[in-house]
Every structure is written in structure tokens, then in C-alpha cells.
């Protein structure tokens, strides 16, 4: 099986052409091929496949299937979908520009920016945010949106770790906000993201009973109304250098809590993304790089 290692600001996946190759069990393949010691290494596995019949009716050029490093399948990946477009365009699977990519979030439209005939940057219409608790999903009743909701009432993070000193040290705000960009996200704002024990607290929140489909966890520091810094614990993958859907959710959360404007630059450990929550169509637009690292052959499919 031929593969390509690609990354979008450090959010790296193993990409496979599933149009011309048959992948029999991607859920079982993902943990092996994503292993950073015994496999290729990455945050997971992404298949670039032919669109389904439903996707074709909506004009999709290709289909994206994303599997986390633990083998679970996710709905979407913002950094991953940019690399899907580069993979498909550079290899002639589709030369459409804009390109329409079918995901479990729906069919998304991507504008491709070329350098010397190959894709270098991609702007993605991530669609409108989903804010209803039942659709994120978050098991909270009596609220239309989970915006600035007191975490002490439902998460009790003070009891999750042996010490709660990090809460005061990081300047963690007392509230959290939840957003779905086709996959679920919870956003916490703080004064200093470097003081968050992400490796310890991330998995506790991800698997909390409040989130029936687990959740992606983000801690965010506001530099000013146009610049944010975030760190991510990604559902099924752990600490990652970047999360595109997460950055989209953070953009929305910043606006909803009046911490930032609709047009922001977000710094992640792997690099920066440009985000805009467009008032006219309610869609979030994300722009960032797509980079091919190397190609190879895996002994099984």
C-alpha cells in the first residue's frame, strides 16, 4: 500500500489513495500505521476516496475519511482536509478549484492557492457552527447554547487531578463554551496556556460523562481581540500540534463570549491559522498551509 505523510501546521496524518487502492480495515490499520515508534507516525490515518452517491449528488469531487490514532473514526479534521485537497490535486485525482470534499460534516468547499503548479495554501469553508447542546452533543438541559457555562457545576475539574493549583496558576476562567464544527469541542479560556497540565487534564475532560461522544478539549489565551493562542487535547489522539476544527470552534467561542472579533489569527504549537466567522452566511472560514513530508510503502492494507 502506497502512502503519503502530510502535515498542516504540525497536525500530521498518513494519507492513502483509496480511489485506486483497496483498504480493507482502516480502523485496525490506523493505530499501527500512526504509531510513532513502530509505524509511519502521525495523529492518525486519512483516506482520500471517491465520493458516495449522496456526495456526488452534492457535487463532491473526493471524499475524506479520517481515523484517529486509536482507530476511532472522526467526522472532520480542518488541517487534514487541507491536505486532502493537496493530495487530490497534486496527484490528479481531482483538478477542481474550488474543490468540494465530502466529509461526515457534509460537503465542504475549498479554495486552493498554487505555487509552481502544486497546492501550498488552502482556504476551507468549514460551514456554520453547531451550538445546540443536543447536536454537539452535550448532556445539558434547559439551555439553548453552552456559552460561558460554569464548569464547577458539571465538570468539577478540581477533583480530577491530585492537585488543583494549576487552576489558579493558569488563570483559568470559571466558564466553558461548547461548539460543534461537525465534531464536538469544549473551549476554556485562561490567562496562561503554558500552565495547563494538558496531558493530565485533557483525557479526563475528553471522556467525561457530560460528553456522550467524547470531546476535543482546548485551552485558549487571549492576546488581544485579533490574536489568540491555544493548546489542544484531541479526541482519540491526545496532545496535537494543531486542530483546524478546534481553531474554528475557538474563533466562534471567542465571539460568543466577547473576547475576540470575528477575524482572528490563532497561534497553535505547530503554527498559525487564519479564521473568520462570517456574519453574512454564518460560516467559519479557515486558511492555512498543506505540506507533503514524504512518501512510502506500507506492507499491508
- Residues catalogued as catalytic: 77, 243
Residues 84 and 44: their CA atoms lie apart, in Å, by 13
Q: Which of 287, 228, 213 is nearest to 261 (CA)?
A: 228
Cell numbers 507533503 correspond to 292
> Per residue in 240-272, is it b (16+ CB within 10 Å) or e — as a string?
bbbbbbbbbbbbbbbbbbebbebebebbbbbbb
Contacts of 249 (CB under 8 A, 6+ apart): 129, 179, 180, 181, 185, 187, 216, 218
Instruction: Give the length of the chain.
Output: 301
User: What grid cell was written down for 156?
Assistant: 468539577
Amino acid at each position: 500500500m502506497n502512502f503519503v505523510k502530510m502535515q498542516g501546521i504540525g497536525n500530521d496524518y498518513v494519507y492513502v489513495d483509496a480511489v485506486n487502492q483497496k483498504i480493507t480495515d482502516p480502523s485496525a490499520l490506523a493505530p499501527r500505521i500512526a504509531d510513532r515508534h513502530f509505524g509511519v507516525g502521525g495523529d492518525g490515518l486519512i483516506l482520500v476516496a471517491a465520493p458516495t452517491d449522496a456526495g456526488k449528488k452534492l457535487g463532491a469531487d473526493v471524499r475524506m475519511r479520517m481515523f484517529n490514532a486509536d482507530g476511532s473514526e472522526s467526522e472532520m479534521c480542518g488541517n487534514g482536509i487541507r491536505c486532502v485537497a493537496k493530495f487530490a490535486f497534486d496527484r490528479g485525482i481531482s483538478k477542481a478549484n474550488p474543490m468540494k470534499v465530502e466529509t461526515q460534516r457534509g460537503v465542504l468547499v475549498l479554495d486552493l492557492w498554487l505555487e509552481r503548479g502544486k497546492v501550498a495554501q488552502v482556504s476551507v469553508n468549514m460551514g456554520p457552527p453547531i451550538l445546540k447542546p443536543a447536536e454537539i452533543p452535550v448532556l445539558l438541559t434547559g439551555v439553548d447554547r453552552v456559552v460561558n457555562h460554569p464548569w464547577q457545576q458539571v465538570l468539577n475539574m478540581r477533583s480530577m487531578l491530585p492537585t488543583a493549583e494549576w487552576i489558579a496558576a493558569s488563570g483559568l476562567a470559571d466558564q466553558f463554551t461548547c461548539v460543534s464544527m461537525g465534531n464536538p469541542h469544549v473551549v476554556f479560556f485562561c490567562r496562561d496556556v503554558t500552565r495547563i497540565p494538558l496531558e493530565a487534564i485533557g483525557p479526563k475532560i475528553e471522556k467525561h460523562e457530560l460528553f456522550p461522544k467524547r470531546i476535543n478539549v482546548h485551552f485558549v489565551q487571549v492576546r488581544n481581540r485579533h490574536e489568540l493562542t491555544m493548546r489542544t487535547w484531541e479526541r482519540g489522539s491526545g496532545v496535537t500540534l494543531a486542530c483546524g476544527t478546534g481553531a474554528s470552534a475557538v474563533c466562534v467561542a471567542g465571539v460568543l463570549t466577547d473576547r475576540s472579533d470575528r477575524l482572528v489569527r490563532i497561534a497553535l504549537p505547530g503554527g498559525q491559522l487564519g479564521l473568520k466567522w462570517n456574519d453574512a452566511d454564518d460560516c467559519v472560514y479557515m486558511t492555512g498551509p498543506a505540506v507533503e513530508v514524504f512518501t512510502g510503502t506500507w506492507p499491508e492494507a
